């Protein structure tokens, strides 16, 4: 955990020092292009790798009764038997995280009056569902809001998002709710790993690092907006230069915090295809989610089964007809009578 935090701090410090000693071109031009390339190529390679992997068994997750006889109630959403049903379940899963909604937490009672001894109780636990949903949607809105730096003129839908996001009109520049909520959600997801003993035991550096990285990105972003301000007109000139492949950096007044923010985002992009964060495209490749539960209707053939050598009965009879006839076995087709002399 600490090493993940230190790595994030180190990256931020390197970016800060780099911007101070005049390496802004490296962190502002070279790194973003490299990061975007690594991100896209990495994701595509990963997806092709997944698409090449055979699925030996039909292993869809079943969350209810499979479709069988008409009089048996069938869970359409949790056990879809058609491709359309799978699509609906996938959309609901991606948009509402329905599988997390079913999350439970095991608690042990030492002296339970019901059975007079220790007992395990599984409580419904919605916290993880709530905060992960909050995190993902806030992240999406924050991501969309950033398009004001990528587009000229800024489309009105982004203005609407900003108006709703800053509806409380706190301060100037007005406080965006999603920024604060994003930080809260991330802190919950981190606290969950730190304070839940069982979760802490199974948490690794690749669980903590993305959390600290995202917290770093959010904190530096909030800092840029409300405290150590970046001059957004200059930022926009810089970003538009990058996206038009004619980067400008000299003459722009980009502060150190902006370079830190940019470098952390680039780190996220580079890290993304090689980490657990690839669940973004990964969910669509998961055979537990993308296969219909029609195992009683359709036989799932393992694609790596070797081709079978079939020897059908007619072929068998053709091969051994004379011998069979000689032995007096019943035949479907009698051997042709040899012409008598």
Partner 1 sequence: MYNARPVCIGIVILVVLLTAPFWVGLFGKNYTETGVQTPTNHEACVEDADFMRAQHMRLLNEWRDQALRNENRTYVAKDGKKWEISLQNTCMKCHTSYKDFCEKCHISNSVSPYCWSCHIIPTEGK
Any contact of residue 52 with partner 1 (CB under 8 A)? Answer: yes
Q: Pick the stretch among 73-81, 106-114, 116-124, 156-164 that binds partner 1 (CB under 8 A).
A: 156-164
Q: Which of 102, 200, 229, 296 binds partner 1 (CB under 8 A)?
A: 229
- State the Cα angle at 194 between 193 and 195, rounded to 5°: 100
Any contact of residue 281 with partner 1 (CB under 8 A)? Answer: yes
Any contact of residue 64 with partner 1 (CB under 8 A)? Answer: no
Q: Which of 127, 147, 274, 316 binds partner 1 (CB under 8 A)?
A: 147
Q: Taking the complex as a whole, how short is the minimal distance between the CB of residue 103 and partner 1, in angstroms?
A: 28
Any contact of residue 236 with partner 1 (CB under 8 A)? Answer: yes
Smaller CB separation from partner 1, 185 or 265: 265
Q: Taking the complex as a whole, how short is the minimal distance between the CB of residue 198 and partner 1, in angstroms?
A: 35
Q: Which of 7, 38, 47, 324 binds partner 1 (CB under 8 A)?
A: 47
Q: Taking the complex as a whole, how short is the minimal distance between the CB of residue 45 and partner 1, in angstroms?
A: 10
Any contact of residue 117 with partner 1 (CB under 8 A)? Answer: no
Residue 317: count of CB within 10 angstroms of its CB? 16
Q: Taking the complex as a whole, how short is the minimal distance between the CB of residue 232 and partner 1, in angstroms?
A: 5
Smaller CB separation from partner 1, 22 or 171: 171
Chain positions 245 to 264 lying near partner 1, rule: CB under 8 A, are 248
Residue 235 phi/psi, 5-degree rounding, is -60, -40
Any contact of residue 184 with partner 1 (CB under 8 A)? Answer: no
Any contact of residue 243 with partner 1 (CB under 8 A)? Answer: yes
Between CA 160 and CA 18 the distance in angstroms is: 37
Q: Which of 169, 197, 250, 312 binds partner 1 (CB under 8 A)?
A: 169
* 39 contacts 268 by C-beta, under 8 angstroms: no
Q: The tokens of 11 are what?
A: 């990256």
* 212 contacts 1 by C-beta, under 8 angstroms: no
CA dihedral 207, 213, 218, 219 (to 10 degrees): 110
Which residue, chain included where needed, has tokens 């550096």? 205
Between CA 238 and CA 242 the distance in angstroms is: 6
Q: Taking the complex as a whole, how short is the minimal distance between the CB of residue 82 and partner 1, in angstroms?
A: 15
Smaller CB separation from partner 1, 5 or 277: 277
Q: Pick the stretch among 22-30, 149-157, 177-185, 187-195 that binds partner 1 (CB under 8 A).
A: 149-157
Any contact of residue 149 with partner 1 (CB under 8 A)? Answer: yes
Any contact of residue 7 with partner 1 (CB under 8 A)? Answer: no
**Residues near partner 1 (CB under 8 A):** 36, 39-40, 43-44, 47-48, 51-55, 147-154, 158-159, 162-163, 169, 171-174, 229, 231-233, 236-237, 240-241, 243-244, 248, 281, 284, 303
């Amino acid at each position: 955990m600490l090493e993940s935090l230190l790595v994030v701090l180190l990256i931020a410090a390197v970016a800060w020092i780099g911007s101070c000693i005049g390496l802004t071109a490296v962190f502002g031009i070279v790194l973003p292009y490299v990061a975007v390339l690594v991100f896209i190529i990495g994701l595509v390679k990963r997806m092709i790798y997944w698409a090449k992997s055979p699925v030996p068994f039909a292993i869809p997750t079943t969350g209810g009764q499979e479709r069988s006889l008409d009089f048996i109630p069938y869970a359409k959403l949790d056990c879809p038997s058609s491709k359309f049903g799978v699509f609906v379940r996938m959309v609901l899963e991606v948009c509402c995280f329905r599988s997390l909604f079913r999350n439970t937490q095991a608690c042990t009672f030492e002296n339970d009056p019901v059975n007079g001894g220790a007992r395990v109780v599984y409580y419904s636990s919605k916290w993880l569902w709530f905060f992960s949903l909050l995190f993902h949607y806030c992240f999406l809105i924050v991501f969309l809001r950033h398009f004001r730096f990528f587009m000229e003129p800024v489309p009105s839908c982004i203005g609407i998002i900003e108006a709703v996001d800053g509806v409380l009109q706190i301060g100037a520049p007005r406080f965006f709710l999603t920024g604060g909520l994003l930080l809260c959600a991330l802190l919950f997801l981190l606290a969950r790993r730190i304070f839940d003993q069982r979760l802490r035991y199974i948490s690794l550096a690749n669980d903590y690092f993305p959390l600290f990285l995202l917290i770093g990105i959010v904190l530096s972003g909030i800092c840029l907006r409300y405290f150590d301000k970046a001059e957004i007109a200059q930022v926009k000139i810089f970003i538009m230069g990058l996206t038009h492949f004619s980067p400008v950096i000299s003459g722009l007044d980009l502060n150190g915090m902006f370079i830190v923010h940019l470098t952390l985002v680039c780190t996220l992009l580079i890290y993304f295809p090689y980490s657990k964060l690839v669940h973004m495209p990964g969910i669509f490749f998961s055979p537990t989610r993308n296969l219909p539960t029609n195992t009683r209707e359709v036989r799932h053939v393992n694609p790596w089964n070797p081709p079978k050598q079939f020897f059908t009965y007619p072929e068998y009879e053709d091969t051994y007809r004379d011998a069979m006839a000689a032995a007096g076995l019943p035949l479907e087709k009698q051997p042709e009578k040899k012409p008598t002399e």
